[in-house]
Amino acid sequence: MIMDSLSLLELNALVRRSLEQCLPDEYWIQAELSDVRSNTTGHCYLEFIQKDPRSNSLVAKARGMIWNNIYRLLKPYFEESTGQLFTSGIKVLVKVTVQFHELYGYSLTVLDIDPTYTLGDMARRRREILLQLEEEGVLTLNKELEMPVLPQRIAVVSSATAAGYGDFRDQLQTNPYGYQFSITLFPATMQGEDVEQSIVGVLNEIYQREADFDCVVIIRGGGASSDLSGFDSLALAENVANFPLPVIAGIGHERDETVVDIVAHTSVKTPTAAAALLIDNLHSVDQLLSDMRQRIYSSVRLSMQAELQRLSHFSQVIPTRFSLVSTRQLSRIGTLSQRLLSAAQQQVAESKGRTQLMAERIPAAAGRRLSDERHRLEMLSQSVRALDPQLILDRGYSITLLNGKAVRNSSELAPGDELHTRFAEGEVKSVVE
């Protein structure tokens, strides 16, 4: 038996009527936005998804839409309230009706949105990021860096066309004190989904030239407050926290504080406030130096005055003291001269007495010495006479000479030698045969 059959259209119509009967009310649902887009008609089409918190895998998905008349009110309301773009990746609490169309199937039509839910989720994510940074030990790392005494070489991260960057640059260049700043722009995307990747890339460029700069200024300014979500990024916060130069954040939002604001060395609300901070810092140092110069000048002036007074006092005292000293020295010199004269006279007298005594003693001593020497000469004369060969000859002896030398041994002679023989009186010559 063939059962009654339904066409697909009939079946879908049955489903639609069933859903309208079973789910006639409006429902608040929690979901994450995905594939958010709008067309030329002003309608917004999107997907609602839910992920497993542990595996991050999809567990539910539904197609959704927001009619033009609702979307043009809902979107600015949400973004103004949260400071967050109405875009993919955020969690929302929305009021929907369940729809089923025979051709397009199941969908959810958005009627309203609760921004406080998204704010709570954003705050939760921000807390999680800050907690992770604290666990990594980098949360206050950039804050612990010392700002250079004279921060004048500035690396600026901003959009080249941003009004905030122009304001920042003009304020530095036209500061009332005439301070000179070197500004180098590193262009980056400051709003939209590419904020994180763009700024991290630029920070890496600055890191390669670290020695060229004193600090980094991140300027957003001029954008919608809804674009702040990019500054609540974990990756961007880690790069700012770990950066080796002080980072000044001036992303141009008066009300909300982003994670980048929290981890930066110094956070200000606007680009002009960032410029004012740098100018005031330099002015403070200038004032300090000026005060020190004034103190040094005053101290030197007082010291010179004191020295002049001392010199004046000395100029009055010195003549009197010199006179006293001169008198004392002259008296001392006179006393020493008298002592030297007396000592010299005494020395002369003593020398004269010794001279006279020696003059009296010399003749007697000389006489004794002459007598002794005369006796010694007589003894030497007798000794010489005793050794005279003539005495030997006088006693009958003779002396035979060969070549003027006395011959003591016949072996000294050779045949033909001519000898001379001396007697007491006369001598003879002979030849050895």
Name the more confident of 174 and 122: 174
pLDDT in tens, 68-123: 999 999 999 998 888 778 888 788 999 999 998 888 889 999 999 998 888 778 77
pLDDT in tens, 136-171: 999 999 999 999 988 999 999 999 888 889 999 999
Residue with tokens 């369940």, as numbered in its chain: 98
Domains of the chain listed by start with CATH number:
8-132 (2.40.50.140), 139-284 (3.40.50.10550), 391-431 (no CATH)
Name the range with the highest mean pLDDT among 52-66, 175-189, 378-392, 404-418.
175-189
Q: What is the mean pLDDT of residues 381-391?
A: 71
Query: Quick one: pLDDT at residue 64?
Result: 94
Ranked by mean pLDDT, the top range of 12-16, 217-221, 236-240, 252-256 is: 236-240
21: CB partners within 8 A, 6+ apart: none
pTM, to two decimals: 0.54
What is the model's pLDDT at position 341? 83
**Which residues make Cβ contacts (< 8 Å) with residue 368, sequence separation at least 6?**
none
d(CA 184, CA 213): 9
Written as six digits, the tokens of 28 are 């608040």
Would you report the helix, strand and coil content of the chain in percent, each value rounded to 5? 50, 20, 25
Give the number of other Cβ atoms within 10 Å of residue 74's Cβ: 20
User: Stretch 176-185: mean pLDDT, rounded?
Assistant: 94
Residue 342's closest CA among 353, 332, 334? Answer: 334
